[in-house]
Chains A and B, each alone.
Chain A
């Protein structure tokens, strides 16, 4: 089969076409121009958002690094009083939390937002306003969260926040709530980013960039985003459970009332371990791209490398309990998790040897990126090996929760993520700055950081063997690890000096610019090095290989002369080319939204919502929440506006494709599916929690309400499902023009029925005496209803939104993206409601 969509690949032979008029470039510049002055804050273009995003995450890297230096000073000698106990406990909690949630995940996501559209030669990511929202939510929320440190309210329960230490009884202050708040933001922005990246990588690649020709970074980001979608729901659920336990006394984790503290650990690590690979894989993708340009040759083992990325993602979901070997798990389980932990190191080994083989097959240039890349391979390998060591249960039980682990995880994360990131800074800074960073200074920076890193963390292996546990604010004299700790402290300052020097290099050489770039300093072969402006490349090239710039020396000129796809703006608005997921065949032109203040407003009020809840200002919180929802709807309002007079446009070479499109081919439909997977995973994790608590404390389980009532609820949900279908069917029967009457009503009826059946479900349980505060069963059964309540509220809002659009005459017939999405979401709600109702009512009654 030569074609995925019926597109004839022979059409690619029409390119490069004739040179296109230069006036089109003016037009592109006009359309993509960023707002001036303060208005720049409303920009949604990835050149700005991506840069701000990277800069913010780097700021958090510096802040968390300063906390680390503070801790190292405190630990330089035994029984020091540089940081008091409670401050230290806040410092180490914030260091871990900020590094993981506010630096590492956002940083790789930010690099994705910044680089991916360029690498794929898309004009922008498919949902620019979503990117803007994700960034601002992260920016505002992250800073507010960090500031809790200055008022002594920073969380102090460790970045893993194990209850019951973090429950209301043992952490009565607001500290733990701030953690839950801070993580809430990251959950939102990570999921938003993941939706963006999945759809971006699969649907906005340059024509003919088949999956097999994607830059390895795009592959890594795809796996990364899928992992976020599957892993973050676990942490979303467990943060919700803990906050509800703290605020409303529902005993999910309280063993005295039929809860269990281990439930948290399962949920948290089900997220927490994939999290490590979520951080590492994008960096590995960057490594693969950089190794290629450093060695000036193709990556050896491209397909093995892809396989390794996918395998890592897959296996990483089966290793979570290796953080829990000391909790007395059955031997069979520890055996399984031990085997999986060994297995997950294989794909890492594949990647390391792909890089080594590639370096050997080419000629390595002695550049700063090369230094960081090689330093990264060495350091990451060492961290991987200690990872293999702790994968073996008997050994792990000795070093678990000691400084050996501190050493291990810093080797993996600094070697696997921080060094590649610095290599990436040097490699890609010229793309976004008018001046390249100093390659000479870069080598100094590398040697300082590399030396500092090893001087800090190598001794810690031994410190752990000598019995020093993690998360200690001090240690007693005479235990033999004074010298080791002092060495680590000295090393940390050498590392810090390297980063300081990097800041100097930034200050001296980095000049952010969207107009001029320093050019392809390290001679990369991928599309981000095409000449570009805010609109990305002038025209979108046909891709015939993995390194198009190396294989076609004229490509830059050809692209610049508009001799490929979309050399102009045929619709006169922002747009990008949507291509098919596997073979990247052109499918349609997507109209893209421009600058808007609403994503920013939505983010600020989302922050207000969470902050108010944290400080228990509930009324103000609801006020903020309502404005946030309104802002989101307002930004959506301007989208989904097909141009009735332009059904098809010429995208170059006389090839005609539709403008906007509905149904399963549309990018919105894809994004909604991703969102439904997220919601489904949250529900699935809640089902796991339900079964888990039943398994631990079956004695608190009581008999469910009557079967008749259950049948009524399921029946009602069925009617709702039917209504969503009828609404779409009515719309379809009205071919042409706009619908003004009725189809939205059926969606509204469906949503109201769902609300009613949820109410029935709730009163049914209340009538037989189940209370959420009294037992683990009550807590988790009512939690299932809380989850359903969330999707029902969204369903109601969506139905109302659809009604407004219909009233304003924006509901196109016979199909309409908004209608598709609303109907599909409400249908999902009906199915989820049925599943969550049936689980506790049919299975495992007392």
Chain B
């Protein structure tokens, strides 16, 4: 799964939404411009050094500077600038208040994801995975809990910094379903290199089902989804998320894993809705079993990687806040991993 996120074609040149698409066109034009100008300079240099005297004479005067160094770049740059400014304007359309709202908080070294209703209330917590319906404008409210991070999903949009004390807004929109990789693009110390996430764009119907499974109550925010009536399918609640009922029945090893999770310390930092695990420092693990990745976008998610992560997170991603639980026997780790993998 992860392998499909990146690679060829390069995400910057492989847009999956209206914002990145415009930039891709600009990128191709700029690359062509750079290539042509480089060729001009190389040819001019060749003439200057080895060319026939007749051409050298033409090149060897101040006129060359006026044409090549002033007139030509002046025109090219002006055209590019006007185009670039117009595009900048079109990419920063004002927020209408009708967009889907998701808050993403950069933390050392993962992304907290909070789906908001139109009042700005949190209706569901998540981590390192953002689910959006296709063809629906989404406004991301970006901020940071500690140092400066930067949010970047090259398939969907340019990047935007996540700055402590501020909220920056980023519009994204996907026009095709898919899983698009994202990373933190601003150096944030330690394992910055291993701070990623995925954005999953679903067909609206599929997204509806996903949301229902997770009891997302998006209230009126759903209305502007146009012809796709996502709202009707959702249980709309007035205040908060309805209580989640954890997957049942819990028996055998998984039940032991659940008990261990609560007793060895995991619950101090992690929350699993519907259980007594209510820690807020680390990623919310309520639906961790359904996530595509572990460790903030770095490992595929299955029983084996979950065990590896619990037992030796510091080796996989040195410097993070979560200790390696290498003092626990392997069967305890396996039990916890089993229970966590059930949290779909």
Given A164-B164, A382-B34, A476-B2, is A331 in contact with B92 using a C-beta cutoff of 8 Å?
yes
Chain B residues 156 to 192 lying within 8 A of chain A, measured CB to CB, are: 157-161, 163-166, 168-169, 181, 183-192
Q: How distant is B31 from chain A, measured CB to nearest CB, in Å?
A: 8
* List of A residues within 8 angstroms of B274 by Cβ: none
Q: What is the number of contacts between chain A and chain B, taking CB atoms within 8 Å? A: 276
B44 at the interface (CB under 8 A from A): yes
Asked if B169 contacts A401 (CB within 8 A), the reply is no
Stretch in A356-364, A431-439, A489-497, A569-577 with 4+ CB within 8 Å of B? A356-364
Q: How distant is A166 from chain B, measured CB to nearest CB, in Å?
A: 9
A165 at the interface (CB under 8 A from B): yes
Given A262-B163, A359-B48, A472-B193, is A300 in contact with B8 using a C-beta cutoff of 8 Å?
no
A680 at the interface (CB under 8 A from B): no
Report Cα–Cα, A260/B191, bound state, in Å: 25
* List of A residues within 8 angstroms of B27 by Cβ: 389, 395, 398, 465
Chain A residues 368 to 409 lying within 8 A of chain B, measured CB to CB, are: 374, 377-378, 381-382, 385-386, 388-389, 391-402
* List of B residues within 8 angstroms of A626 by Cβ: none
Asked if B158 contacts A469 (CB within 8 A), the reply is no
Asked if B26 contacts A471 (CB within 8 A), the reply is no
A331, A389, A466: the one within 8 Å of B6 (CB): A466
Asked if B56 contacts A360 (CB within 8 A), the reply is yes
Asked if B81 contacts A339 (CB within 8 A), the reply is yes
Chain B residues 1 to 35 lying within 8 A of chain A, measured CB to CB, are: 2-3, 5-8, 10-13, 20, 22-23, 26-27, 30-31, 33-34
Q: How distant is A823 from chain B, measured CB to nearest CB, in Å?
A: 46
A808 at the interface (CB under 8 A from B): no
Smallest Cβ-Cβ distance to A397: which chain B residue? B158
Asked if B68 contacts A397 (CB within 8 A), the reply is no
* List of A residues within 8 angstroms of B185 by Cβ: 326, 400-402, 469-470
Stretch in A195-203, A342-350, A627-635 with 4+ CB within 8 Å of B? A342-350
Q: How distant is A334 from chain B, measured CB to nearest CB, in Å?
A: 6
Report Cα–Cα, A327/B149, bound state, in Å: 10
Asked if B22 contacts A261 (CB within 8 A), the reply is no
* List of B residues within 8 angstroms of A165 by Cβ: 147-148, 187-189
Asked if B150 contacts A401 (CB within 8 A), the reply is yes
B242 at the interface (CB under 8 A from A): no
Q: How distant is B296 from chain A, measured CB to nearest CB, in Å?
A: 11
Q: How distant is A245 from chain B, measured CB to nearest CB, in Å?
A: 14
Report Cα–Cα, A85/B314, bound state, in Å: 12
A335 at the interface (CB under 8 A from B): yes
* List of A residues within 8 angstroms of B70 by Cβ: 346, 349-350
* List of B residues within 8 angstroms of A16 by Cβ: none
Smallest Cβ-Cβ distance to B60: which chain A residue? A361
A621 at the interface (CB under 8 A from B): no
B263 at the interface (CB under 8 A from A): no
B81, B190, B194, B196: the one within 8 Å of A86 (CB): B190
B97 at the interface (CB under 8 A from A): no
Stretch in B82-90, B197-205, B215-223, B245-253 with 4+ CB within 8 Å of A? B82-90
Interface string of B72-106 (1 = CB under 8 A from A): 01100110110111011101100000000000000
* List of B residues within 8 angstroms of A701 by Cβ: none
Given A164-B147, A357-B59, A466-B11, is A388 in contact with B187 using a C-beta cutoff of 8 Å?
no
Report Cα–Cα, A396/B6, bound state, in Å: 20
* List of A residues within 8 angstroms of B190 by Cβ: 85-86, 89
B11, B78, B147: the one within 8 Å of A170 (CB): B147
Asked if A357 contacts B49 (CB within 8 A), the reply is no
Interface string of A251-272 (1 = CB under 8 A from B): 0000110001110000000000
B319 at the interface (CB under 8 A from A): yes
B280 at the interface (CB under 8 A from A): no
Counting chain A CB atoms within 10 Å of each CB, which of B38, B47, B92, B148 scores highest?
Answer: B148
* List of B residues within 8 angstroms of A334 by Cβ: 88
Report Cα–Cα, A346/B72, bound state, in Å: 10
Asked if B3 contacts A364 (CB within 8 A), the reply is no
Report Cα–Cα, A632/B51, bound state, in Å: 58
* List of B residues within 8 angstroms of A374 by Cβ: 45, 49
B45, B62, B147, B165: the one within 8 Å of A260 (CB): B165
Chain A residues 296 to 340 lying within 8 A of chain B, measured CB to CB, are: 300-301, 304, 326-328, 331, 334-335, 338-339
A479 at the interface (CB under 8 A from B): yes
* List of B residues within 8 angstroms of A386 by Cβ: 34
Report Cα–Cα, A331/B88, bound state, in Å: 7
* List of B residues within 8 angstroms of A335 by Cβ: 85, 88
Smallest Cβ-Cβ distance to B87: which chain A residue? A394
Interface string of A454-489 (1 = CB under 8 A from B): 000000001011110111111110111100000000
* List of B residues within 8 angstroms of A351 by Cβ: 69
Given A398-B27, A465-B13, A467-B183, is A393 in contact with B69 using a C-beta cutoff of 8 Å?
no
B61 at the interface (CB under 8 A from A): yes
A828 at the interface (CB under 8 A from B): no
Given A164-B146, A334-B88, is A353 in contact with B38 using a C-beta cutoff of 8 Å?
no
Given A86-B319, A397-B159, is A478 in contact with B65 using a C-beta cutoff of 8 Å?
no
Ordered by A's residue number, 28 sampled pairs between the chains whose C-beta atoms are within 8 Å are A85-B319, A86-B190, A162-B147, A162-B148, A164-B146, A262-B166, A301-B62, A304-B65, A326-B186, A334-B88, A342-B81, A359-B49, A385-B33, A386-B34, A391-B84, A392-B26, A392-B80, A392-B84, A393-B87, A393-B88, A399-B12, A466-B6, A467-B10, A467-B154, A470-B187, A472-B193, A479-B5, A480-B8
Q: Which 7 A-B pairs have the closest CB atoms?
A: A255-B165, A397-B158, A361-B60, A480-B7, A472-B193, A353-B69, A392-B84
Residues of B within 8 A of A (CB): 2-3, 5-8, 10-13, 20, 22-23, 26-27, 30-31, 33-34, 37-38, 41-42, 44-45, 47-49, 51, 56-57, 59-62, 64-65, 68-70, 73-74, 77-78, 80-81, 83-85, 87-89, 91-92, 108, 146-148, 150, 152, 154, 157-161, 163-166, 168-169, 181, 183-194, 196, 298, 318-319
Beyond the given pairs A164-B146, A327-B163, A476-B196, 10 more chain A to chain B contacts, judged by CB atoms under 8 angstroms and listed by A's residue number, are: A85-B193, A345-B77, A353-B69, A356-B45, A357-B59, A360-B44, A360-B51, A392-B83, A470-B187, A478-B2
Residues of A within 8 A of B (CB): 84-86, 89, 156-158, 162, 164-165, 170-171, 255-256, 260-262, 300-301, 304, 326-328, 331, 334-335, 338-339, 342-343, 345-346, 349-354, 356-362, 364, 374, 377-378, 381-382, 385-386, 388-389, 391-402, 462, 464-467, 469-476, 478-481
